[in-house]
Amino acid sequence: MAKTRIGISLDGEHAERIRAHAERAGMDVSACLVNAATRQVAETEAMEGRFSHIDAVIAAAEAEAAELPALPEPGDDDLTGAERRGVREAVGLVLGGDAPIRVDSHPGNAA
């Protein structure tokens, strides 16, 4: 099979690390790069194959959700005080830090 040349550009530090790695592995730089790239392609294809059914389920769920009617706007009485505190705690866990988080009864006013 005829070989195809592919040119790449990279900074000197990466080039030197690749040269050193290839030498340790007993390969020339081209063989080392081809080996790494083909392994990455095989891993990606294997993962895509393994999760393709999940991706299809997600795509179907997203398409179904896009057809659902919009939810009504939340009103002032939709959350109890305890629920608001729970939301504050959950957002605090997600965002981290000690910054105060305000959850008002009006949508779009959380700070």
Q: Is the pLDDT of residue 110 over 50?
A: no
What is the domain partition of the chain in residue ranges? Answer: 12-68, 72-111
Q: Which of 110, 105, 78 is nearest to 94 (CA)?
A: 110
First to last CA, the chain: 62
Please provide the DSSP assignment of 8-61 as one string.
----HHHHHHHHHHHHHHT--HHHHHHHHHHHHHHHHHHHHHHHHHHHHHHHHH
With contact defined as beta carbons under 8 Å apart, do 35 and 27 qualify? Answer: yes
Percent of the chain with pLDDT over 70: 86
pLDDT (tens digit per residue) in 22-47: 999 999 999 999 999 999 999 999 99
pLDDT (tens digit per residue) in 5-27: 999 999 999 999 999 999 999 99
